[in-house]
């Protein structure tokens, strides 16, 4: 067996930095011409089918998912994709991609709070609390009132915070699933259930699916990018990195993704770089560093080994 080239893990990590940071830009392009929930459902149903086919090849030795595993990982798919990603797609109709990425970057802060509640405060430290406070203040700067634009954006900002909380709930739940699935099979179940739920959300909101067919090539290109790069390449690179690199190193994507998103939004879509975005963004990135590196690990001998948190954007 040939040794893994030393540059390959770093190339995979760089891929996560760029690809997951660029998904916010792609979403903004897609929802300009496509209904958000309909487009999200197409994204995850296609990606889920591809992952499902891959699972029959790579995970067949582990057998088919049980009914309990479908229920558990299906719930994770609802939280991460149907609510988390679906609300991001909906919010980016009015919220610039860079601001959306910065608001979603608060996920590690909420995770710090929620994990502290579950551990009855055992994982909280003064450094973590400072990080949470700075991060929430940073969100205030990013969402600084700006006249008519703010009036149109505040429902999206609120939806992004709900999406962040939904991602946190899904991330915490997947760590406690009693019957674990291999990575590919778990992803397939989550994407298929999440995609099916997004179809129902789209129908409930009365979205016009004919807009998918009439959408311009740019929108379809963005959607294809989300399927291939965001959901398949990005996740595969993430899963690979977790097997060959320390989790603390892989977790640095949470610091870099919003920076990439803001830069791409500015360069490609001419999204404004206001003082609030710059100061608030810097505060959020600093807050995530403080919160994620200032939490005391809490181990319970009765708790199964946790799965790493997975991003769903």
Q: Label residue 246 exposed, middle or buried (CB < 10 Å: 0-12, 13-18, 19+).
A: exposed
The domain spans of the chain are: 7-293
Q: Give the pLDDT score at 196.
A: 97
Measured CA angle at 273 (ends 160, 146), to 5 deg: 65
Query: How much is the pTM?
Result: 0.83
pLDDT band at 309 (very low <50, low <70, confident <90, very high): very low
Half-sphere CA count of 106, side-chain side, radius 13 A: 29
pLDDT tens digits, 273-286: 888 888 888 888 88
Q: How high is the pLDDT of residue 150?
A: 61
Here the tokens at position 276 are 């609030």
pLDDT value, residue 192: 96
Higher per-residue pLDDT: 151 or 231:
231
- Which tens digit of pLDDT belongs to each residue from 198-256? 999 999 999 999 999 999 999 999 999 999 999 899 888 887 887 787 766 777 787 78
- Measured distance between the N- and C-terminal CA atoms of the chain, rounded to whole angstroms: 35
Give the whole-angstrom CA distance, residue 231 versus residue 236: 8
Can you tell me the distance from the alpha carbon of 194 to that of 198, in angstroms, rounded to the nearest whole number? Answer: 6
Cα 54 to Cα 30, 59, 60, 71, 188, distances in angstroms: 27, 8, 9, 21, 9
Distance CA 258, CA 254 (A): 7
- How many angstroms separate the CA atoms of 306 and 47, rounded? 25
Tens digits of per-residue pLDDT, 67-99?
Answer: 999 999 999 999 999 999 999 999 999 999 988
DSSP run (H or E) holding 4: none
Reported as a single tens digit per residue, the pLDDT across 217-232 is 999 999 999 999 998 9
Three-class DSSP category at 228 = helix
- The confidence score (pLDDT) of residue 51 equals 92
């Amino acid at each position: 067996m040939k040794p893994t080239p030393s540059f390959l893990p770093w190339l995979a990590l760089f891929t996560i930095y760029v690809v997951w940071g660029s998904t916010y830009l792609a979403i903004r392009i897609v929802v300009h011409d496509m209904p958000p929930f309909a487009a999200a459902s197409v994204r995850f149903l296609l990606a889920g089918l591809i992952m499902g086919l891959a699972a029959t090849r790579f995970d067949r030795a582990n057998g088919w998912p049980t009914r309990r595993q479908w229920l558990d990982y299906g719930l994770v798919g609802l939280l991460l994709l149907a609510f988390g990603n679906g609300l991001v797609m909906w919010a980016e109709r009015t919220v610039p991609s860079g601001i959306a990425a910065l608001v979603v970057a608060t996920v590690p802060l909420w995770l710090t709070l929620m994990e502290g509640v579950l551990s009855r405060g055992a994982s909280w430290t003064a450094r973590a609390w400072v990080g949470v406070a700075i991060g929430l203040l940073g969100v205030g700067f990013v969402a600084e009132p700006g006249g008519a634009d703010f009036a149109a954006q505040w429902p999206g900002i609120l939806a992004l915070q709900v999406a962040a909380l939904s991602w946190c709930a899904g991330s915490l739940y997947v760590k406690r699933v009693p019957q674990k699935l291999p990575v590919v099979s778990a992803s397939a179940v989550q994407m298929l259930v999440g995609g099916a739920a997004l179809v129902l959300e789209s129908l409930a909101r009365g979205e016009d699916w004919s807009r998918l067919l009439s959408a311009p090539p740019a929108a379809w290109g963005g959607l294809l990018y989300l399927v291939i790069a965001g959901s398949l390449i990005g996740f595969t690179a993430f899963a690979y990195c977790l097997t060959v690199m320390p989790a603390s190193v892989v977790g640095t994507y949470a610091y870099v993704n919003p920076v990439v998103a803001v830069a791409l939004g500015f360069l490609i879509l001419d999204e404004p770089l206001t003082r609030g975005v710059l100061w608030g963004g810097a505060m959020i990135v600093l807050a995530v560093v403080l919160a994620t590196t200032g939490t005391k690990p809490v181990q319970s001998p009765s708790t199964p080994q946790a799965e790493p948190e997975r991003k769903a954007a």
